[in-house]
Amino acid sequence: METLRFGEVTVDRLVKAEGLSFFSGFLLPDSDDEALAAQRPWLEPQFFDGVSGRLVMSVHCYVIRTARHTILVDTCVGNHKERPSTPPWHRMETPWLANLAAAGVAPEEVDFVLCTHLHVDHVGWNTRLRDGRWVPTFPNARYLFHRVEYEHWEATDDFGSGTGAGDGCFADSVLPVMEAGQALLVAGDHQIDDNLWLGPSPGHSPGHVCLYLSAGGGRAVFSGDLMHHPVQCAHPEWNSRFCHDPELARATRHDFLDRHAETDITVLAAHFAAPTAGRIVAAGARCRFRTRAEPGSS
Ligand SMILES: [Zn+2]
């Protein structure tokens, strides 16, 4: 994804991993092959691999720079963490921090970290290992957690209806931030500054939030895991297997499409593969996702 500009605000994408991912029937248990096939013309090749039948997905963090602040949205998986439930994420060693530096951001320069929710692939770089202890990676940042989300994971590591596993991510990637005094427990509509504010979007997790950006006459929404894959623009009734409250997740997704389809807002989800940025447009009786790279888009 090229750098997006909204007036003086820029948005970059820092990729941890991208490529062939789950089979659709695994990630989206509500889906069916025939309905998916009807969407393939616009999904291929960037979001669906017709040869393997697998979804193409990404794990990434967004770097937002305003005139006053540097903000990270979702911090991927992290290094050296015990993640036996997901072998590719177990004791990872990636150059993520070097990539952040290459994007022009030193850890000391980060003012805010926002986790759209506290699942394992959204909190990892909140902390890093130093002298055998997990410490906040960004020493001058305030970390924003929705209070409802924090209190849920503080009380339980139960994913509800899903089958996901956190592998202790709350203990190694969230709690040390709280203990360091850098966590800010906020409401679901918290305003960060003139350009940025949260919007509640519960369902995938109890306190999932989206981040809204308005600047320079443009708008964007960082939508986290409200949708895991662009096909959910056409089928918002398809939950991921990791959704906590199935009915609430569906209702939130329908509401999101009702409010944002056929508008100018740029949607920036947590797992949409390159070119990632796009808009929700009407396509017959359904919606679909149109990337900014697609001919005819602006
Ligand atoms: Zn995720």
CA of 143 to the centre of ligand 1 (A): 18
Residue 160 has pLDDT above 70, yes or no: no
Average pLDDT over residues 16-39: 94
Evaluate whether residue 114 is within a structural domain: yes
Chain centroid, CA 149 distance in Å: 15
CA of 119 to the centre of ligand 1 (A): 7
Evaluate whether residue 296 is within a structural domain: no
Q: What confidence score (pLDDT) does residue 187 get?
A: 97
CATH assignment of the domain containing 62 = 3.60.15.10
CA of 246 to the centre of ligand 1 (A): 16
CA of 27 to the centre of ligand 1 (A): 11
Q: What pLDDT digit, counting tens, does each position of 228-254 carry?
A: 999 999 999 999 999 999 999 999 999
Which residue in 134, 147, 140 sits closest to 69, CA to CA? 140
CA of 157 to the centre of ligand 1 (A): 16
pLDDT-wise least confident of 66-75, 141-150, 157-166: 157-166
Q: What confidence score (pLDDT) does residue 293 get?
A: 78
Which residue in 60, 112, 83 sits closest to 269, CA to CA? 60
Residue 288 has pLDDT above 90, yes or no: yes
Evaluate whether residue 73 is within a structural domain: yes
Q: What confidence score (pLDDT) does residue 157 get?
A: 67
Q: What confidence score (pLDDT) does residue 159 get?
A: 53
Average pLDDT over residues 154-177: 78
Evaluate whether residue 298 is within a structural domain: no
CA of 99 to the centre of ligand 1 (A): 20
CA of 287 to the centre of ligand 1 (A): 22
Q: What confidence score (pLDDT) does residue 163 get?
A: 45
pLDDT-wise least confident of 61-70, 91-100, 141-150, 151-160: 151-160
Q: What confidence score (pLDDT) does residue 86 get?
A: 87
Q: Identify the domain containing residue 188 by its residue range.
A: 4-291
Q: What confidence score (pLDDT) does residue 298 get?
A: 52
Average pLDDT over residues 142-154: 96
β-bridge pairing 142-146 and 112-114: parallel
Work out the pLDDT band at 162, boundaries 50, 70, 90. Answer: very low
Q: Report how many domains make up the chain.
A: 1
Q: What confidence score (pLDDT) does residue 111 get?
A: 98
Residue 296 has pLDDT above 70, yes or no: no
CA of 185 to the centre of ligand 1 (A): 20
Evaluate whether residue 43 is within a structural domain: yes
Q: What confidence score (pLDDT) does residue 231 get?
A: 98
CA of 294 to the centre of ligand 1 (A): 25
* DSSP conformation letters of the chain: -PPEEETTEEEEEEEEEEEEEEEHHHH-TT--HHHHHHHHHHHTTTTEETTTTEEEEEEEEEEEE-SS-EEEE---S-SS---TTSGGGTT----HHHHHHHTT--GGG--EEE-SS--HHHHGGGEEEETTEEEESSTTPEEEEEHHHHHHHHH----TTS----TTHHHHHTHHHHHTT-EEEE-TT-EEETTEEEEE--SSSTT-EEEEEEETTEEEEEEETS-SSTHHHH-TT---TT-SSHHHHHHHHHHHHHHHTTSSPEEEESSBPTT--EEEEEETTEEEEEETTSTT--
CA of 118 to the centre of ligand 1 (A): 9
Work out the pLDDT band at 158, boundaries 50, 70, 90. Answer: low
Burial class (CB in 10 A: 0-12, 13-18, 19+), 64: buried
CA of 226 to the centre of ligand 1 (A): 9
CA of 114 to the centre of ligand 1 (A): 14
CA of 10 to the centre of ligand 1 (A): 23
Evaluate whether residue 205 is within a structural domain: yes
CA of 19 to the centre of ligand 1 (A): 15
- Report pTM: 0.96
Q: What pLDDT digit, counting tens, does each position of 50-109 carry?
A: 999 999 999 999 999 999 999 999 999 999 999 998 899 999 999 999 999 999 999 999
Residue 171 has pLDDT above 90, yes or no: yes
Q: What confidence score (pLDDT) does residue 161 get?
A: 42
CA of 131 to the centre of ligand 1 (A): 29
CA of 178 to the centre of ligand 1 (A): 22
CA of 60 to the centre of ligand 1 (A): 9
Evaluate whether residue 110 is within a structural domain: yes
Evaluate whether residue 297 is within a structural domain: no
Work out the pLDDT band at 156, boundaries 50, 70, 90. Answer: confident
CA of 122 to the centre of ligand 1 (A): 6
